[in-house]
């Protein structure tokens, strides 16, 4: 299945970055399409709604050695990370009662909430099963995934607890997305570094880098909800407020316009009024300014990494992709 590059020193099997990414896409599709018959119709539907797989790309990039090659185990773990991400999306759509995702009808809308929840649970289990096949640093990988899965779940729970909390602060919101979104990016960057046998004193840099990229990615998504068309976003827009999810642009608008918060609490406000208020008071500009601070921190970390220029440029490309929606 793999086009191998021999490494007699480490006795590992390696592939190029581009080949590795193609193998991840093939492996993810194959895994979903070959699921047990009882769940296959659901996983086949998910297979047809492919995403950008930025987490998988991040893991592969971080696992590259100084020849630009990645270990075979990174492919397996990238597939596991994408399955874990897919599971969180399926559950999110159930919680939010979302109708579309990635330009297609959601699993919960097409098959019902209960089958969607069970399918999401199946994907969680499948992710751990594939991760258990890792041969290098297996104990660290298993601990890593279970720890980050816990953080993701706690972040989602914290968001749910703050449903329609119009008094939510910026600090509390950043804590929420640190778990529900940034934790999985952090896991991807950290896992790649572990598989690359990067010195322990350097691995912390990868964790922080993943955290910053994840924060940028979520803040970008927050802005898209207010400024992109549904066709561009490939999902329902202007939906956060309707679902009771308070994001940073709106937090800033509430702080700038106290009357707006009072009107929202009364329930006598439309999503179009919210959108116009966010745009008028500079909620998007504020959110982008917060994201730019994370961007600069991430950029500085990449510059300080003890890596070759190709790997640094690859990581900067991923950083720019996460930041793209904010430009």
Q: Which residue matches tokens 């046998």?
A: 197
The pLDDT value given to residue 84: 94
Residues 120, 86: Cα–Cα separation, whole Å? 8
Q: Give the pTM.
A: 0.89
Give, for all 327 residues of the chain, the pLDDT tens digit: 333 333 433 436 788 999 999 999 999 999 999 999 999 999 999 999 878 899 999 999 999 998 889 999 999 999 999 999 999 999 999 988 888 887 889 999 999 999 999 999 999 999 988 988 887 666 666 667 778 888 999 999 999 999 999 999 999 999 999 999 999 999 999 999 999 888 888 889 999 999 999 999 999 999 988 886 555 545 556 778 888 899 999 999 999 999 999 999 998 898 889 999 999 999 999 999 999 999 999 999 999 999 999 999 999 999 999 987 543
Instruction: CATH number of the domain at 187, please.
Output: 1.10.600.10
Q: What is the DSSP letter of 169?
A: -
In a domain, 50, yes or no: yes
Q: How many domains does the chain have?
A: 1
Distance of CA 210 to the CA centre of its chain: 10
Kindly state the helix (H) or strand (E) to which residue 123 belongs, with its residue range: helix 113-131
User: Which residues neighbour 46 within 8 Å (Cβ) at sequence distance 6 or greater?
Assistant: 32, 86, 90, 107, 119
**Residue 154: inside a domain, yes or no?**
yes
Q: Is residue 295 part of a domain?
A: yes
Q: Give helix 17-33 / helix 54-62 axis angle, nearest 10°.
A: 140
Q: Is residue 3 part of a domain?
A: no
For residue 211, give every residue at least 6 positions away whose Cβ sits within 8 Å of its Cβ, in sequence order, or none.
Answer: 178, 182, 185, 186
Question: Is 322 part of any domain?
Answer: yes
For 14, the enclosing helix (H) or strand (E) is strand 12-16
Question: Which token pair is 239?
Answer: 């939906």
The token duo for 268 is 């006598």
pLDDT for position 96: 84
| 54: in domain | yes
Asked, for residue 2, whether it belongs to a domain, the answer is: no
Rounded Cα distance between 209 and 198, Å, is 14
Q: Which domain holds residue 38?
A: 10-326
Q: Is residue 201 part of a domain?
A: yes
- Reference 73, options 33, 123, 24; nearest CA is 24
Partners of 6 in the β-ladder: 13
The SS3 of residue 7 is strand
């Amino acid at each position: 299945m793999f086009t191998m590059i021999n490494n007699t020193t480490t006795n590992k099997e390696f592939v190029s970055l581009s080949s590795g990414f193609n193998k991840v896409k093939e492996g993810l599709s194959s895994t979903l399409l070959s699921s047990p018959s009882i769940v296959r119709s659901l996983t086949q539907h998910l297979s047809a709604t492919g995403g950008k797989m930025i987490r998988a790309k991040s893991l592969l990039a971080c696992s590259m050695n100084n020849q630009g090659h990645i270990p075979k185990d990174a492919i397996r773990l990238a597939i596991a990370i994408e399955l874990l991400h897919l599971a969180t999306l399926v559950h999110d759509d159930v919680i939010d009662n979302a109708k579309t995702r990635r330009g297609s009808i959601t699993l919960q809308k097409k098959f019902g909430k209960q089958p969607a929840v069970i399918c999401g649970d199946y994907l969680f289990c499948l992710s751990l099963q594939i991760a258990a096949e890792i041969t290098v640093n297996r104990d660290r990988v298993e601990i890593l995934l279970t720890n980050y899965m816990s953080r993701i779940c706690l972040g989602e729970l914290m968001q749910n607890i703050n449903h329609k909390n119009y008094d939510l602060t910026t600090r509390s919101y950043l804590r929420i997305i640190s778990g529900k979104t940034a934790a999985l990016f952090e896991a991807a960057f950290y896992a790649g570094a572990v598989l690359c046998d990067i010195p322990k004193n350097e691995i912390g840099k990868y964790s922080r880098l993943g955290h910053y990229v994840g924060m940028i990615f979520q803040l970008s998504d927050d802005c898209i909800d207010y400024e992109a068309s549904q066709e561009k976003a490939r999902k329902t827009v202007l939906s956060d407020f309707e679902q009771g999810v308070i994001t940073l642009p709106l937090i800033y608008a509430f702080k700038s316009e106290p009357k707006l918060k009072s009107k929202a609490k009364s329930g006598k406000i439309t999503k179009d009024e919210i959108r116009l208020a966010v745009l008028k008071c500079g909620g998007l500009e504020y959110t982008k300014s917060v994201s730019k601070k994370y961007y600069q921190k991430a950029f500085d970390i990449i510059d300080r990494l003890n890596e070759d220029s190709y790997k640094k440029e690859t990581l900067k490309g991923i950083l720019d992709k996460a930041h793209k929606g904010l430009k």
